[in-house]
Each structure stands twice: as structure tokens, then as C-alpha cells.
Structure 1
Amino acid sequence: MRVIEPEVPLDDHVLVTRARAGDLEAYDLLVARHTASAYRTAVLLGAGSDSEDIVQEAFVKAYRKLARYRGESSFRSWLLAIVANETRNLHRSRSRRDGLILRAAAASPTSEAAEDGAVGAVLDGERRTALVRALRQLPVRDREVIVCRFFLDLSEEETVQALGWPRGTVKSRTSRALAKLRVLLDREEVRHG
């Protein structure tokens, strides 16, 4: 009896090596693997309806710059840094949007609270709305670090790579941004509570 070994998914390092050698299927696998997080990053950093374009442009740039990728960080971190840069370029090229657009948080809560589940949904919607309002009031760089660390759940090192900031800046800005966000959320609670 012959035992069939399960196929082990190729890691990013192997796929990058193959893509550098001209293997387009390997790059397609990288694109498929990282599109969701790249898209989420673009949305959370404020690209809004331009998120798909940002992600597409980021993947094109990443492919062109693949020879420069040294593997010091994960491919994901490197790619998200490109997405963040493309999003910043978008912000520079158009008039500054009023804050961060979070599609997931833009859902309007149900106004009828007939049952416990509906009450919970309304409260969750109100909390999301308050969080979005507070995030929109933060300076752009504070918002970027909060999005990377807590919405995208990037590690400190991945945040360093994604934003291109020194580790100390990421640490201090995260701490200060969280403190500012807490104050803003407290104000929102008092104002709308």
C-alpha cells in the first residue's frame, strides 16, 4: 500500500525565489495568499473606494522590485509597506479625505431592538461608530500605527517594516496614540452616552 503524503504549501521564501526566476505561477500564489491582508491594509489606512487600485498597484510594484527584496522581513511585511506607501501617495495626490474609511465599521446599526441579539448588534454598531469617529480625529501617523498594530494585528517588527519607521518610533507612537484614542473614546462616551 502506497502512502500519499499531503502536499505541503510552499512558504513565501520559496515562492519569492521562484518568482525571481521568472515563475509567474509562484507570484500568482503570493498574490492569492496576500491579497486579503493587502486590501484590508489599504482600506484601514484610508484608501476607501480606491483600495483595489492601491492593492493592484502595490502588487505590480512588488513584482518589479522583487530583486530588491532581501528577505530581512517577511514578504507580507514588505508588501504591506508598499501598500502603505501607495496609500500615502494616494492621500498626497488627492485632497485629504476627512479621516479614515473603515468599510467594516460603516454598517449602520439596526434601529429596532426587538430582541437581545438586536440590542447587542445596536450596541456593537454604536461602539464601532464611536471608534471610527475617534480614529478619524487622530493625526494620520497615529492612525497608521493603531491600524497596523490593532486592526491588522501586525507585530511590532511587521509594523516597523510596513511603516518604514524606527522601532523606537513605533513603540512610542503606539503608546501615545493609544492614550489619545482612549481620551477621544471617553469624550465620545460622555457626549453620546
Structure 2
Amino acid sequence: MPPDLEREYVEYVTARLPRLHRMAYLLCADAFQADDIVQATLTALYVNWKRAAGADNLDGYVHRIMVRRYLDERRRGWSKVLLGDRVPELSAPADHGVEERDALLTALRSLPKGQRAVVVLRYFGDLSVEATSEALGCSVGNVKSQCSRGLATLRQALDARHPITTSQGAGDHS
């Protein structure tokens, strides 16, 4: 790759790497798998950088690669194989929002992969409906319906964890 194109690639990746990793993590809910997805995405981007750099919407192009890599990982049976005799213990950071984050990630994991991809790109990736449509290679209407269904399922799952209770009965007005 010519030095000027390589410099552009490095600048693009440097600026977007944290966001790409966050999006990959939200898609798969596993930090190690997110690393693999980001690496596969950036490798594919590097190989096709000359063509990709000329795209009208480079971020959409990259998001489409990422979602495809995520879906490819989900299709591979070997990715579920545990290579050790026990699961390593992971320490959780001291964070007060751990329960909420875990509830959200659990709810996200319960979504079908199409709805999850739409919700992650729209609300965690801050993409417009049109950009999400372009990234996923589907219609705007499909993005809207998948998003609506996904959000309804998320609300239902999260509301089930925290039902609204009232301190007074319906007839008690004291």
C-alpha cells in the first residue's frame, strides 16, 4: 500500500478504534470475541482500503464489515469450544451500574441477531436510520421495524426486572 494511503488508514483506525470495539462488544457481549471481530474488520478494511477510502460513507462501509464479521462468528461452531478445563475468573470493575449494565447486556443477548445489530448500530453507534440501512444492506423500513421490535423487547425485559410499584393503594388518598 502506498505510504499516503497507509497513513490515511492509520488515522482513520486510530480515531475510530474505541468506538468500533464498543460496538463489537455490544453486538457479542464478550470482550475477547469483540477483539476478534474488530481485528477481522480492520484486516478486511486494510486489504480493501483503496476502494473503501473512496466510499461515500466510510463509517457505514466499516459498520457493514463489522456486522458481517459478527454474523460469521455466530455461524462458526468452533467459536463456542472452550479450550481449557475451566472458565477463568474475571474480576468486575468497582462500578455502581454493574447490575444495570448486566441487565441491558442480557436483554441485548436475548434479541434476534438482526434486531440486536439494528439496536446497537442505531443507539450505541449513533447511526441514523439511513446509515444503519446502508451498513446492514437492508431497507429503511426494515431498520425501522427491526428497531421497533427490538426496543419493545428490551423494554419488556428490563421492565420485568424492575416492576413499577406504588406506595399507596388505588383507593387510599391519605
Tell me whether the two structures share a fold, i.e. TM-score over 0.5. Answer: yes
Larger relative contact order (C-alpha < 8 A, sep ≥ 6)? Answer: 2
- Give the aligned partner of residue 121 of structure 2: 148
Where does structure 1 lack aligned partners over 5 or more consecutive residues?
A: 1-18, 98-105, 111-120
Counting matched residue pairs gives 151
Within 2, Cα distance between the matches of 1:165 and 1:82? 14
- Give the aligned partner of residue 86 of structure 2: none
Paired residue type of 1:40? R
**CA-to-aligned-CA distance 1:83-134 (integer Å, 9 cap, x gap):** 111111111113686xxxxxxxx94777xxxxxxxxxx3xx33322322222
- Give the aligned partner of residue 56 of structure 2: 72
Identity fraction in percent: 33
Question: Does the alignment pair 1:56 with 2:29?
Answer: no
Under a length normalisation based on structure 1, what TM-score does the superposition of the two structures give? 0.67
Within 2, Cα distance between the matches of 1:143 and 1:76? 19
**Contact persistence 2:64–2:136 (CA under 8 A):** yes
Under a length normalisation based on structure 2, what TM-score does the superposition of the two structures give? 0.73
* 4+ runs deviating over 4 angstroms: 19-22, 106-110
Q: Give the CA deviation at 1:168.
A: 0.9
- Give the aligned partner of residue 155 of structure 2: 182
**Contact persistence 1:58–1:83 (CA under 8 A):** yes
Q: Give the CA deviation at 1:171.
A: 0.9
**CA-to-aligned-CA distance 1:127-163 (integer Å, 9 cap, x gap):** 2232222222222211111111112222212211222
Within 2, Cα distance between the matches of 1:78 and 1:142? 19
Sort the Cα spacing of 1:47 and 1:131 in 2 relative to 1 into closer, same or farther, 3 A. closer
Within 2, Cα distance between the matches of 1:60 and 1:189? 42
Moved more, 132-141 or 20-29: 20-29
